[in-house]
Structure 1
Amino acid sequence: MTLKAGGQDKALAMFSRLASDRKPEVAVVAAEQVLGTKLDNGRIRPAEAASGYEKLLFAARQAGVEKEVRHNLVAALTQAGEWPRALISVDDDLRLFPEDRIALVPQVEQILQHLAETDGQAGGTKPVELIDAVAMIESHIDQIPDGPAKGKILAGLARKLQALGLPGKAAIAFERALPLASDDAQRAALGAELAQADIDAQRLGQARRALDETQDPGADATLASRRRVITAGLLAREGSRDQALQLLGQDESDAALDLKGRILEEQRNWPEAVLVVGRLATKNLPEVGALTPEQQQLAIRLATDAGRANDWGTLDRLREWVGGRRMSVERQRIFTLLVTSPEDELRKRAQLQ
């Protein structure tokens, strides 16, 4: 009553005194109120509240209020972003109180959504973290009812499996997500990812079917380009390289330029490859400043194509553009070798003599 009347400090003092009561059913409820009130008012962090609830569990069991304390523990862990621990606590709750299964579905869904949305392809994500997230999602996904939320979780699971180098399993997860898509655009996007997973798993027929069955004439330009690149990649895998180049046409997205360049390189059409990879480099290599490992590799790729095309004009411009920037020792050695003309080499030898 005091708390509801706005006397927070006074109520906290009363709860704190009651938390020392000899009767467990009084002490535990009072301690729980102290933690909840402090958390609601920002006086403690969610992680501190979770630690407090964990310490109360044994006494809460004796007092007959374990279920309530466990619910608060799950909520605090979720609020603290302690997703794996929150899921473990949910499992403990369901083991002890199976009748809570339906009531805990929203919290399980929230936890799985976070685990699924974490970028599985980020460079800083460790394989063990991906494996743990995949295991947690796979073991709990069937607790979530079918719907768009479950579809997003399954799609996130598929991306993690793809990042782990398991395209076959990723394709299965994408197939489960596809019927749960909320609209045609999402269905088309999932269809593209499913097709890519099938291609990576060497299942070209399934990839073609996934693309055909998820077409969306109203797809935006970005999605349309993505699907076009995947379709062209499929054609190239099937041996129809000229048809793939024709499909890509005037698409100047990074993915399209990269694929066109790779097809031209496979065809040993070095002059055209220089033009395409040169446009990709122009878009992605900064005018000044350090180069990332990926940018260094792109510079070497362009230099390699130009060298095979005997395009010394491009090599000279590339040397002036990025030659003075720091690269890894091995990449620097390769780049210098590629952009050094025979005349330069002869001059160096003459100077040494």
Structure 2
Amino acid sequence: MAEIDCNKDLRAYHNEKVTLGKSDQDTMRSRRDSGRTRLRNGLTRLEKPVPEKIESQGSYSMKTMVQDDACEYDIDDGVYFKPEDLTWLVVFELSPADARARVCEALSDDERLKSPAEVKRNCVRQTYPQGYHIDYPVYRIKTETNSDGNEEEYFELASGDDWVRSDARAVTSWFNGHVTNLNSGEVNDGSQLRRVVRYTKKFARSVADWKEKTASGITITKLVVDYFQSSDGRDDLAIRNTWKAIKKALDASTEVNHPVLKDTKLSGKDDDAVTFFKDKLAWALKELNVLDEKDCSHKNALEAWDIVFSASFFAARATEDTKSQKSAFVVTPSKVSERNDDGGRFG
């Protein structure tokens, strides 16, 4: 493994080009809240019951969203109704398709938006002129008696023509649980895990043509969690070693299990999207082989990271390093023992 430490460079890239800054986070929160208000107002005008609750899910709630130059952000906001509120003429249950259609109608009631909401198989999608969209999966809240004789809630998603038992919040709990468990150790590995997920998602969509071809965000997240290789103080090593472990696993099989639903796959055998992602990982790891060469310089290493992330960020840092080194060679005055700092101490 290379001796060259690019951790500070990767961390700078993460903070400037990968993770969402506070202003971006505030914007996302504002967009989410506006969408919720639009939905509730639309249902009220239609004289239909409003949801019991609306809860964030997906990368937004897991804090793994990454910057996108085209502003193609995807916010997931689960809409949860009591069963009696998903009816027509009081007594007839809405079908899953009708439930999504009602939510779509409520969102489309606001005519200020140029693009009307669309009914998808697993959600209702509202696209905004800025390029981002909000997905609203529609759930109904059900209850059952558990083994202890107590009533407990479970949730059914309006998926296609069926009500399917599901709850994306469980995925968030699964991921946050891994972060918490890692953070409880001697090293704050949970924070690095979250960063490696972001780095990997950024890489997977670093080329515009890749976006529609590569693995989904949840699939990438599951793979990173399953094969995460921590490295204290070295994000560069954590990224590379995690990618190697993922690549090795995918060489054996492109099947990826759902994180919380038993007997459910995020991808199957010979999955095209996961295969595409695996092939791009193989390409990236080959580009990073330069890091193992004895004569690899810091500049060479940064150039390789630029290639991998389809960026120019790292080359700029290499240029700054060169300028810094040149500026270190300055003419020293002959009377080096004299100074004028009022007798103060160097701090």
The TM-score, its normalising length taken from structure 2, stands at 0.29
Q: Which protein is richer in helix relative to its size? A: 1
Higher CA-based Rg: 1
Q: Which protein is richer in strand relative to its size? A: 2
The TM-score, its normalising length taken from structure 1, stands at 0.29
